[in-house]
Structure 1
């Protein structure tokens, strides 16, 4: 699976992540720099073929984790874009790739209520509010979003 998007003199490619991509994924992930547990999560997602990457000019610039265990539906559990490539359409391309790769008719994702940037991105990708989960992060509800993809 691939997709292309003309950017500023560059082409963005999305594809399934490979084990050789893990190190580059962790290097572009600011959270992973201070949370070593992220590496195990990413390695497992790649091993299970649940991870998509965005590549620009041969270099990884973002990744997304797509599972199918959210009440037997697709779920985007994580989207990461390198700081230098944020707000340039990379996350939207990853969302589009996840929609194509989703094995179910319904695709879900979520964001903390306090994370306005993620909430705007999710809405821009065409997702609509679906519910709220309390008590994951104290004082910061998890907002669930949904989109029909088939």
Structure 2
């Protein structure tokens, strides 16, 4: 997994005034079906956002398909972007406090790792309930989509990252 605290420390070692790092993990599972699953999409992506400040210069770098092996390369890119950015005369600082609110019902552990077998069973149950209602009826098209998003954040003023799943 990506160590956000380590990234902040590396950025600070390289002389940045302030830094923040955001990590998103997005798993999208989608299946379309008639009487049986037709098309299956199972994507798992990892994205990283780095915002750094050098004096009053602010730079942002966004990365898809993140690899911990390339963190030093990402840091170099972010520093290069920041050094070429114009100074922001109104810059004060990153947020020194970060709030956290839990919203119940936005995340279901039951659907965290759904399998093809479980989806097939759900589709079969849907199909059976349609047939029970009317033996001549059939499913012309259906779909099921599940999104799991994990968000982690840290900045220079925090000792550890905070995470949230939706």
TM-score (norm 1): 0.24
The structure with higher relative contact order (CA 8 Å, sep 6+) is 2
Q: More strand per residue: 1 or 2?
A: 1
TM-score (norm 2): 0.23
Q: More helix per residue: 1 or 2?
A: 1
